[in-house]
Structure formats: structure tokens, C-alpha cells
Amino acid sequence: MNKHEWLQRIYDQHIAYEKREKRIVRFFQTIIVIAFFSLWEIASRFHWIDPLLFSSPSSIWHLFITKVRDHTLFSHTTITLTETVLGFIVGTIAGICFAALLWWFPRVSKIVDPYLVILNAMPKVALGPILIVALGPNMTSIVAMGAIISIIITTIVVYTSFKEVDANYIKVLQTFGATKRQWFTEAILPASFPTMISTLKVNVGLSWVGVIVGEFLVSKQGLGYMIIYGFQVFNFTLVLLSLLMIALLSSIMYQLVSWFEKKLIKRA
């Protein structure tokens, strides 16, 4: 057997192993989902758990079909999704822009540092009532909730990563006479991409929190409203349906961020 064939065989073995490993992981993941929902259904049927409180997958499914038929689920979901995506984008972009400003003006960053710490420590959802009164009980204030919850932490995390970029990269650029703007675009920004991506991932979760709490408070429409309404009329099937929708949508958003990450960071 020559060397080439041998290497090929080792490589094939490696790939086969990886495939097998992946299949096993997928298998157990599927088993867990099936087991979870079956157990839930059975437990509810046999009254091991209170079906009024915990509902059951089948009743949630029936409710889902009804809600799809009368188009209410679609409209509530679209509203919440729009608010969340907007809040996420506004919060993230504004956070990164603030971070860039702080990097550009170091003195400003020193001055505002303690205020950032305080703002970060404050529970942002507590601002909800004020926002709603100030901006009106509508989509704007809910989007603002989704954004405000992630903006400060994004600013702090991204600014810290800007600061931690090795100054020698800037020295290299300086030797070629680069401008401060070029330092930012050629070194600071690309060096911070990995940090930015991880804040994106955190922000996906945060904006959902902000938006759902916003909808609780405004209580007009959206999945958050469906939860509050279901709670008030003691329809927990409705609450759980909304929760499952949220889980589904937020994991799709998360996957999108991961896909974006792969596009942005080409190196391994």
C-alpha cells in the first residue's frame, strides 16, 4: 500500500468517525424531544399533572390549528417578531456605535464610566412604565424596551474589546501612515468581531425579554399579550402555545446569528 492510499484511508476513517458521532448525537437529541412530549401528553392524560395548569401537547396543537385558521396567531407572532428584531437591531447597533464613540474619545469614556456601571446595574425592565407613558402604549415603546435592555451591556462589552486590541497592530498601521479612522476599520473593528458576535447572541435573548415584558405592560397585542391574557382567563394552553412559539422563534434568530458568524469570521 503506498503512502497516498494510506493517508486517504486515515482521512476516510476520520470522516466516517465524525459522521457516526454526529448521527449518535442527533439520535439522542430526537429521542429527548419525543420522550419529553410523549411523557407530557401521557402525564396529562392520566392526571399525573394538572392538565388545567400544564395543558398537554395535543391540546396545544389543537389550539395552534384553531389560531392558525382564524389568523390571530399569525398576526400576534408577526407583531412580536417585528418588535424583537427591531429592538435587537437598534440595541446592538446603537451599543456598537456608542462603543466606537468611547474609543474615539478616550476622555469621554473616562468621564462616563461610572454612569455606565450604574446604568448597567439597573434592571432595565423597571423603566417600562416610564417608557410607556413617555412614548405611548404602542409598538415604539415596546421596541424601545427591546433595545434599551441590551444597549448598555453591548456598549460596555464591545468597548472593552476595542480597548483590549493589541496596540502593536496599530503601530504597524501607523508605520504606514494610517489615519485614526483606518486604525478603526483595519484593526480595532475586525479584531473585535468575535466579541461582537457573542454579544449578538446574548442580545437575541435579551431583546425577547424586553419585548415580552413590554407586551405584558402594554397588553394590546403580541405573544406577550397572549401570555398575559391566557393567564387572566386561566387558559394555560394559550400561555404554553405562546411560550413554544417564542422558543421556536428565538432559536431561529440564534441560528441566523450563528450563520452570520460563519460568514463574518472565515478563519477557523
Q: What share of the chain is helix, strand, coil (3-state, %, to 5)?
A: 85, 0, 15
Q: Does 168 bind another protein (CB under 8 A)?
A: yes
Comparing C-alpha atoms, which of 35, 28, 101, 87 is closest to residue 213? 87
Q: Does 172 bind another protein (CB under 8 A)?
A: yes
- Binds another protein by CB under 8 A, chosen from 1, 5, 123, 175: 175
Q: Does 198 bind another protein (CB under 8 A)?
A: no
CB of 73 to another protein, least distance (A): 43
User: Whose Cβ is closer to another protein: residue 21's or residue 113's?
Assistant: 113
Comparing C-alpha atoms, which of 204, 206, 245 is closest to residue 224? 245
Q: Does 197 bind another protein (CB under 8 A)?
A: no
Return phi, psi of residue 242, to 5°.
-65, -40
Q: Does 176 bind another protein (CB under 8 A)?
A: yes
6-12-17 Cα angle (round to 5): 130
Q: How many binding residues for another protein (CB under 8 A)?
A: 20
Q: Name every residue whose Cβ is closer than 8 Å to that of residue 177 and which is 6 or more positions away in sequence.
A: none
User: Whose Cβ is closer to another protein: residue 35's or residue 264's?
Assistant: 264
Q: Does 178 bind another protein (CB under 8 A)?
A: yes
Q: Provide the sign of the torsion angle of the four alpha carbons 173, 175, 180, 181, taken in this order.
A: negative
Positions touching another protein (CB under 8 A) are: 166, 168-169, 171-178, 182, 186-187, 190-191, 193, 265, 267-268
